[in-house]
Structure 1
Amino acid sequence: MSDDLLTVATIFAMATVTYLTRIGGLYLMRGVRVRGRLKAALDALPPAVLMAVIAPTVLATGPAETIAAVITAAAAFLRLPMIAVVAIGVAAVVALRAFF
């Protein structure tokens, strides 16, 4: 199998697993009424998973990335549009890497 074919097969497999995971969640929750505490818990999951992925990287890298993460979090706290937050984060890490 060539490298290109292997790459395409890997991307297809990852997309399939992602799709099946989403469909599986819908299938498992089809009979559950989502309200109250369950709704609050499910609403809190995406930010919690995101922080679990981001926090180790932010804390294990250099000072430029850590400061850029704080700047990005401040931009997100100000409720700026997502694209603006991402642009601020990218610009901050580029500028800080040049400085440090």
Structure 2
Amino acid sequence: MTLDQNTFLAIVAMAAATVLTRVAGLVLIRFVAIGPQQKRALEAIPPAVLMAVIAPTALVTGPAETLATVATAIAATRLPLLAAVSIGVFVVAVGRAAVGA
């Protein structure tokens, strides 16, 4: 297997951009005062991203996936992100087994 030089450079550039944006965020947040409204907004980001990722799947697949999306959305309002995702995976597995898909 050979690796094209342009492909390798693109991968390195994307990795560098990812690392730089994460490090810049950590450095810059030290200079920002976070009030209660900003804290609530920051805490709302993970469930919002989760729903943005899984909502298209819920709209174009079967009933098991739709039910899992609803369960994940409800769980994400009260539980940590990993727990919400775990519940969604469990519900879709049970739903597919019940439907026979």
Shared fold, TM over 0.5: yes
Alignment TM-score, normalising by the size of structure 1:
0.60
- Aligned residue runs from structure 1 range 56-67, under 5 A: 56-67=56-67
> Distance in 1 between the 2:78 and 2:38 partners?
28
Report how far residue 69 of structure 1 moved: 2.4
Report how far residue 66 of structure 1 moved: 0.8
- Where structure 1 has 5 or more consecutive residues not aligned to the other structure, the ranges are none
CA distance 1:13–1:91, shift in 2 (3 Å):
farther
- Where structure 2 has 5 or more consecutive residues not aligned to the other structure, the ranges are none
- Aligned residue runs from structure 1 range 1-100, under 5 A: 2=2, 15-74=15-74, 79=79, 82=82, 86=86, 88-98=87-97, 99-100=100-101
Count of aligned pairs: 99
Pairwise CA RMSD of aligned residues? 3.8
Identical residues among aligned pairs (%): 54
> Distance in 2 between the 1:69 and 1:80 partners?
16
SS in 2 for 1:30: helix
- Cα shift readout 1:45-98 (whole Å, capped 9, x = no counterpart): 222222222212222222221122234445556749945861x43333233224
> Distance in 2 between the 1:80 and 1:30 partners?
24
CA distance 1:11–1:67, shift in 2 (3 Å):
farther
